[in-house]
A = this chain, B = another copy of it.
Amino acid sequence: MLKNLYLGIDIGGTRIKVAIVNSEGIIFEESSIATDTKSKPVNVLKGIVNVAKNFKNYSKIKSIGVGIAGDVCFQTGVVRFSPNLKMWRNIKLREILTNLTNKKVYVDNDANAASIGAFYLDAKGKTTDLVCITLGTGVGGGLILDKKLYRGITGTAGEVGHITIDAYGKKCNCGNRGCIETFVGAKYLSKFVQDYLKNKNSKIINRLVGKNYKLITPQLLAQAAKEGDKIAKRIWKMVGEKLGIFLSIIINFVNPDTIILCGGLSHAKKYFMKYILQEIKTRAFKSATKACKIVVSESNHKLGVVGAAMLSEQ
Protein backbone atom coordinates (compact mmCIF):
# COMPACT_ATOMS: atom_id res chain seq x y z
CA MET A 1 0.00 0.00 0.00
CA LEU A 2 1.33 3.43 -0.90
CA LYS A 3 1.87 5.44 2.29
CA ASN A 4 0.85 9.09 2.51
CA LEU A 5 3.58 11.60 1.73
CA TYR A 6 4.05 14.93 3.49
CA LEU A 7 6.29 17.95 2.98
CA GLY A 8 8.26 19.11 6.01
CA ILE A 9 9.95 22.51 6.35
CA ASP A 10 12.29 23.29 9.25
CA ILE A 11 13.12 27.01 9.32
CA GLY A 12 16.25 27.56 11.39
CA GLY A 13 18.33 30.66 12.03
CA THR A 14 21.06 29.61 9.58
CA ARG A 15 19.55 26.91 7.33
CA ILE A 16 16.15 25.83 6.13
CA LYS A 17 15.60 22.10 5.64
CA VAL A 18 12.95 20.79 3.29
CA ALA A 19 11.97 17.13 2.91
CA ILE A 20 9.32 14.76 1.67
CA VAL A 21 8.49 12.23 4.36
CA ASN A 22 6.15 9.24 4.47
CA SER A 23 3.69 8.41 7.25
CA GLU A 24 6.33 6.43 9.12
CA GLY A 25 8.66 9.41 9.24
CA ILE A 26 11.01 8.11 6.58
CA ILE A 27 12.62 10.78 4.39
CA PHE A 28 12.13 10.22 0.63
CA GLU A 29 13.75 13.37 -0.70
CA GLU A 30 15.50 16.22 1.07
CA SER A 31 17.26 19.49 0.45
CA SER A 32 18.34 22.58 2.33
CA ILE A 33 19.01 26.24 1.67
CA ALA A 34 20.72 29.01 3.64
CA THR A 35 18.32 31.16 5.62
CA ASP A 36 18.19 34.60 4.12
CA THR A 37 17.48 36.59 7.27
CA LYS A 38 17.40 39.88 5.40
CA SER A 39 14.72 39.02 2.85
CA LYS A 40 11.01 39.46 3.44
CA PRO A 41 9.45 36.28 4.83
CA VAL A 42 7.18 36.00 1.79
CA ASN A 43 10.24 35.86 -0.46
CA VAL A 44 11.93 33.31 1.75
CA LEU A 45 8.79 31.18 1.54
CA LYS A 46 8.73 31.48 -2.26
CA GLY A 47 12.32 30.18 -2.30
CA ILE A 48 11.31 27.23 -0.14
CA VAL A 49 8.37 26.40 -2.38
CA ASN A 50 10.68 26.43 -5.41
CA VAL A 51 12.93 23.88 -3.72
CA ALA A 52 9.92 21.74 -2.80
CA LYS A 53 8.43 21.81 -6.28
CA ASN A 54 11.65 20.34 -7.65
CA PHE A 55 11.09 17.18 -5.60
CA LYS A 56 10.02 14.23 -7.77
CA ASN A 57 7.15 13.37 -5.43
CA TYR A 58 5.94 16.92 -4.79
CA SER A 59 2.65 16.36 -6.62
CA LYS A 60 1.87 13.43 -4.31
CA ILE A 61 2.15 15.24 -0.97
CA LYS A 62 -0.96 15.36 1.16
CA SER A 63 -0.04 18.38 3.27
CA ILE A 64 2.77 20.69 4.36
CA GLY A 65 4.10 21.22 7.88
CA VAL A 66 6.43 23.97 9.08
CA GLY A 67 8.46 24.14 12.27
CA ILE A 68 10.02 27.44 13.32
CA ALA A 69 11.56 28.73 16.56
CA GLY A 70 9.67 31.32 18.53
CA ASP A 71 6.18 32.34 19.50
CA VAL A 72 4.03 30.51 16.97
CA CYS A 73 0.26 30.07 17.06
CA PHE A 74 -0.68 26.59 15.93
CA GLN A 75 -4.36 27.47 15.56
CA THR A 76 -3.90 30.51 13.30
CA GLY A 77 -0.56 29.58 11.72
CA VAL A 78 0.85 33.00 12.58
CA VAL A 79 4.50 33.49 13.59
CA ARG A 80 4.26 36.26 16.18
CA PHE A 81 7.99 36.42 16.78
CA SER A 82 11.06 34.35 16.00
CA PRO A 83 14.23 35.16 17.99
CA ASN A 84 16.79 34.63 15.20
CA LEU A 85 14.67 35.97 12.35
CA LYS A 86 14.05 39.63 13.00
CA MET A 87 11.86 40.08 9.90
CA TRP A 88 9.43 37.42 11.03
CA ARG A 89 6.98 39.40 13.15
CA ASN A 90 3.27 38.64 12.95
CA ILE A 91 3.76 36.74 9.72
CA LYS A 92 0.72 34.81 8.48
CA LEU A 93 2.89 31.88 7.52
CA ARG A 94 0.06 29.41 6.97
CA GLU A 95 -1.94 31.80 4.82
CA ILE A 96 1.06 32.73 2.65
CA LEU A 97 2.13 29.13 2.15
CA THR A 98 -1.42 27.97 1.42
CA ASN A 99 -1.71 30.63 -1.27
CA LEU A 100 1.63 29.62 -2.79
CA THR A 101 0.89 25.88 -2.86
CA ASN A 102 -2.86 25.26 -2.61
CA LYS A 103 -2.06 22.62 -0.02
CA LYS A 104 -3.19 22.17 3.56
CA VAL A 105 -0.53 23.78 5.79
CA TYR A 106 0.30 23.22 9.48
CA VAL A 107 2.61 25.46 11.51
CA ASP A 108 4.11 24.93 14.95
CA ASN A 109 7.19 25.83 16.97
CA ASP A 110 10.45 23.96 16.49
CA ALA A 111 10.36 22.17 19.87
CA ASN A 112 6.94 20.67 19.16
CA ALA A 113 8.11 19.66 15.68
CA ALA A 114 11.27 18.07 17.13
CA SER A 115 9.15 16.12 19.63
CA ILE A 116 7.00 14.69 16.86
CA GLY A 117 10.18 13.91 14.94
CA ALA A 118 11.60 12.06 17.95
CA PHE A 119 8.33 10.14 18.27
CA TYR A 120 8.65 8.82 14.70
CA LEU A 121 12.43 8.54 14.29
CA ASP A 122 13.78 7.56 17.71
CA ALA A 123 10.71 5.86 19.19
CA LYS A 124 9.50 4.53 15.78
CA GLY A 125 5.98 5.62 16.72
CA LYS A 126 5.85 2.84 19.29
CA THR A 127 5.87 4.89 22.48
CA THR A 128 2.63 5.97 24.14
CA ASP A 129 3.77 8.83 26.39
CA LEU A 130 6.97 10.60 25.45
CA VAL A 131 8.76 13.69 26.74
CA CYS A 132 11.25 15.22 24.31
CA ILE A 133 13.86 17.60 25.70
CA THR A 134 15.97 19.77 23.42
CA LEU A 135 19.20 20.83 25.08
CA GLY A 136 20.40 23.73 22.99
CA THR A 137 21.03 27.45 23.50
CA GLY A 138 17.93 27.23 25.63
CA VAL A 139 16.07 24.17 26.90
CA GLY A 140 12.88 23.32 25.04
CA GLY A 141 10.68 20.33 24.72
CA GLY A 142 7.38 18.77 23.96
CA LEU A 143 4.94 16.22 25.28
CA ILE A 144 3.51 13.38 23.21
CA LEU A 145 0.76 11.94 25.38
CA ASP A 146 -1.33 9.02 24.25
CA LYS A 147 0.54 9.22 20.92
CA LYS A 148 -0.56 12.82 20.25
CA LEU A 149 1.21 16.13 20.77
CA TYR A 150 -0.19 17.77 23.89
CA ARG A 151 -0.18 21.54 23.50
CA GLY A 152 -2.15 22.73 26.51
CA ILE A 153 -4.69 25.50 26.34
CA THR A 154 -2.53 28.25 24.79
CA GLY A 155 0.20 26.12 23.23
CA THR A 156 2.93 26.50 25.87
CA ALA A 157 2.62 22.97 27.33
CA GLY A 158 5.82 20.98 27.35
CA GLU A 159 7.99 24.07 27.94
CA VAL A 160 10.24 21.94 30.11
CA GLY A 161 13.05 24.52 30.10
CA HIS A 162 11.16 26.62 32.60
CA ILE A 163 10.63 23.98 35.22
CA THR A 164 12.17 25.54 38.33
CA ILE A 165 14.73 23.49 40.19
CA ASP A 166 16.03 26.28 42.42
CA ALA A 167 13.24 28.69 43.29
CA TYR A 168 15.65 31.35 44.54
CA GLY A 169 18.34 30.74 41.94
CA LYS A 170 19.56 32.76 38.98
CA LYS A 171 17.13 34.98 37.11
CA CYS A 172 15.96 33.33 33.87
CA ASN A 173 15.13 35.09 30.61
CA CYS A 174 11.51 34.02 31.11
CA GLY A 175 11.22 36.15 34.26
CA ASN A 176 11.30 33.27 36.74
CA ARG A 177 14.28 32.10 38.79
CA GLY A 178 16.28 28.88 38.80
CA CYS A 179 14.66 27.25 35.75
CA ILE A 180 16.61 24.24 34.46
CA GLU A 181 17.57 26.41 31.47
CA THR A 182 19.61 28.67 33.80
CA PHE A 183 21.80 25.68 34.64
CA VAL A 184 22.17 23.75 31.40
CA GLY A 185 21.02 26.04 28.58
CA ALA A 186 24.19 26.51 26.47
CA LYS A 187 24.07 30.29 26.87
CA TYR A 188 23.89 30.14 30.66
CA LEU A 189 26.29 27.22 30.88
CA SER A 190 28.97 29.05 28.89
CA LYS A 191 28.61 32.08 31.16
CA PHE A 192 28.79 29.87 34.24
CA VAL A 193 32.02 28.30 32.99
CA GLN A 194 33.55 31.72 32.27
CA ASP A 195 32.87 32.79 35.85
CA TYR A 196 33.96 29.45 37.25
CA LEU A 197 37.32 29.70 35.52
CA LYS A 198 38.13 33.07 37.09
CA ASN A 199 39.56 31.32 40.12
CA LYS A 200 40.60 28.07 38.49
CA ASN A 201 43.28 27.15 36.04
CA SER A 202 42.87 24.59 33.31
CA LYS A 203 45.78 24.08 30.94
CA ILE A 204 43.60 22.18 28.52
CA ILE A 205 40.85 24.79 28.35
CA ASN A 206 43.45 27.57 28.14
CA ARG A 207 45.03 25.84 25.18
CA LEU A 208 41.65 25.34 23.48
CA VAL A 209 40.49 28.96 23.80
CA GLY A 210 43.73 30.84 24.40
CA LYS A 211 42.43 32.20 27.70
CA ASN A 212 39.56 33.90 25.87
CA TYR A 213 36.88 32.31 27.99
CA LYS A 214 34.12 33.94 25.98
CA LEU A 215 34.83 31.33 23.33
CA ILE A 216 33.82 28.50 25.66
CA THR A 217 30.91 26.47 24.34
CA PRO A 218 29.46 23.13 25.46
CA GLN A 219 31.17 21.54 22.43
CA LEU A 220 34.51 22.87 23.63
CA LEU A 221 33.77 21.73 27.17
CA ALA A 222 33.12 18.24 25.82
CA GLN A 223 36.42 18.38 23.96
CA ALA A 224 38.23 19.41 27.17
CA ALA A 225 36.58 16.53 29.06
CA LYS A 226 37.63 14.16 26.29
CA GLU A 227 41.20 15.31 26.76
CA GLY A 228 40.90 14.53 30.48
CA ASP A 229 40.36 18.04 31.86
CA LYS A 230 39.19 17.76 35.48
CA ILE A 231 37.39 21.09 35.57
CA ALA A 232 35.41 20.25 32.44
CA LYS A 233 34.52 16.88 33.93
CA ARG A 234 33.36 18.53 37.14
CA ILE A 235 31.11 20.87 35.16
CA TRP A 236 29.59 18.00 33.21
CA LYS A 237 28.93 16.28 36.55
CA MET A 238 27.03 19.38 37.66
CA VAL A 239 25.08 19.38 34.37
CA GLY A 240 24.20 15.72 34.90
CA GLU A 241 23.09 16.29 38.47
CA LYS A 242 20.85 19.21 37.57
CA LEU A 243 19.37 17.28 34.65
CA GLY A 244 18.80 14.34 37.01
CA ILE A 245 16.82 16.51 39.45
CA PHE A 246 14.83 17.87 36.53
CA LEU A 247 14.16 14.49 34.90
CA SER A 248 13.06 13.07 38.28
CA ILE A 249 10.30 15.70 38.39
CA ILE A 250 9.24 14.73 34.88
CA ILE A 251 9.32 10.99 35.59
CA ASN A 252 7.18 11.38 38.71
CA PHE A 253 4.73 13.88 37.30
CA VAL A 254 4.29 12.77 33.68
CA ASN A 255 5.18 9.09 34.13
CA PRO A 256 6.25 8.69 30.48
CA ASP A 257 7.51 5.47 28.91
CA THR A 258 10.25 7.39 27.08
CA ILE A 259 12.32 10.53 27.55
CA ILE A 260 14.36 11.59 24.52
CA LEU A 261 17.21 14.05 24.89
CA CYS A 262 18.25 15.92 21.78
CA GLY A 263 20.00 19.15 20.76
CA GLY A 264 23.65 20.21 20.89
CA LEU A 265 24.36 19.28 24.50
CA SER A 266 23.13 15.72 24.04
CA HIS A 267 26.29 14.91 22.07
CA ALA A 268 28.22 15.21 25.34
CA LYS A 269 26.10 12.46 26.90
CA LYS A 270 29.06 10.31 27.90
CA TYR A 271 30.20 13.06 30.27
CA PHE A 272 26.88 13.60 32.07
CA MET A 273 24.59 10.62 31.57
CA LYS A 274 25.78 8.59 34.55
CA TYR A 275 25.11 11.52 36.90
CA ILE A 276 21.59 11.87 35.50
CA LEU A 277 20.93 8.22 36.26
CA GLN A 278 22.44 8.50 39.76
CA GLU A 279 20.16 11.39 40.67
CA ILE A 280 17.08 9.71 39.24
CA LYS A 281 17.85 6.59 41.25
CA THR A 282 17.79 8.52 44.51
CA ARG A 283 14.95 10.87 43.61
CA ALA A 284 12.25 9.43 41.32
CA PHE A 285 9.58 6.79 42.01
CA LYS A 286 11.00 3.32 41.45
CA SER A 287 8.10 1.92 39.39
CA ALA A 288 7.93 5.04 37.21
CA THR A 289 11.71 5.02 36.71
CA LYS A 290 11.72 1.37 35.77
CA ALA A 291 9.03 1.99 33.15
CA CYS A 292 10.86 4.93 31.58
CA LYS A 293 13.54 4.62 28.91
CA ILE A 294 15.91 7.60 28.71
CA VAL A 295 17.56 7.85 25.33
CA VAL A 296 19.65 10.32 23.40
CA SER A 297 18.31 10.97 19.91
CA GLU A 298 20.18 9.36 17.08
CA SER A 299 18.48 11.52 14.48
CA ASN A 300 19.15 14.95 15.93
CA HIS A 301 19.48 16.89 12.68
CA LYS A 302 16.40 15.31 11.09
CA LEU A 303 13.93 15.68 13.99
CA GLY A 304 12.71 19.16 13.06
CA VAL A 305 12.00 18.54 9.40
CA VAL A 306 10.43 15.10 9.91
CA GLY A 307 8.34 16.35 12.84
CA ALA A 308 7.16 19.32 10.78
CA ALA A 309 6.10 17.00 7.98
CA MET A 310 4.13 14.88 10.44
CA LEU A 311 2.24 17.80 12.02
CA SER A 312 -0.82 16.88 10.01
CA GLU A 313 -0.93 13.48 11.70
CA GLN A 314 -1.25 15.27 15.04
* Chain A residues within 8 Å of B, Cβ to Cβ: 128-129, 145-146, 150-160, 162-167, 174-177, 245, 248-249, 252-257, 282-285, 287-288, 291-292
Q: Give the docked Cα–Cα distance between A108 and B160 (Å).
A: 28
How many copies of the shown chain assemble into the complex?
Answer: 2
- 21 A/B residue pairs, CB under 8 Å, sorted by A: A129-B153, A129-B157, A145-B150, A152-B255, A152-B256, A153-B291, A156-B255, A156-B287, A156-B288, A157-B254, A157-B255, A159-B253, A162-B252, A162-B285, A163-B249, A163-B252, A165-B167, A166-B166, A175-B282, A175-B283, A176-B248
Residue in B175, B285, B292 whose CB lies within 8 Å of A159: B285
Residue contact B256 to A164, C-beta cutoff 8 Å: no
Question: Which chain B residues border A245 with CB–CB below 8 Å?
Answer: 164, 167
Residue in chain B with minimal CB distance to A130: B153
Residue contact B154 to A284, C-beta cutoff 8 Å: no
Can you name 15 extra interface pairs (CB under 8 A) apart from A129-B152, A157-B253, A162-B253? A145-B145, A153-B255, A153-B288, A154-B288, A156-B252, A156-B255, A156-B285, A156-B288, A159-B252, A162-B249, A163-B249, A166-B166, A166-B167, A167-B245, A176-B282
Residue contact A153 to B252, C-beta cutoff 8 Å: no
Question: Which chain B residues border A256 with CB–CB below 8 Å?
Answer: 152-153
Closest 5 pairs between A and B when the two form their complex, measured CB to CB: A152-B255, A157-B255, A176-B283, A153-B257, A167-B245
Residue in B129, B155, B176 whose CB lies within 8 Å of A284: B176
Q: Give the docked Cα–Cα distance between A245 and B176 (Å).
A: 9
Q: Give the docked Cα–Cα distance between A164 and B241 (Å).
A: 14
Question: Which chain B residues border A155 with CB–CB below 8 Å?
Answer: 255
Q: Give the docked Cα–Cα distance between A162 and B251 (Å).
A: 10
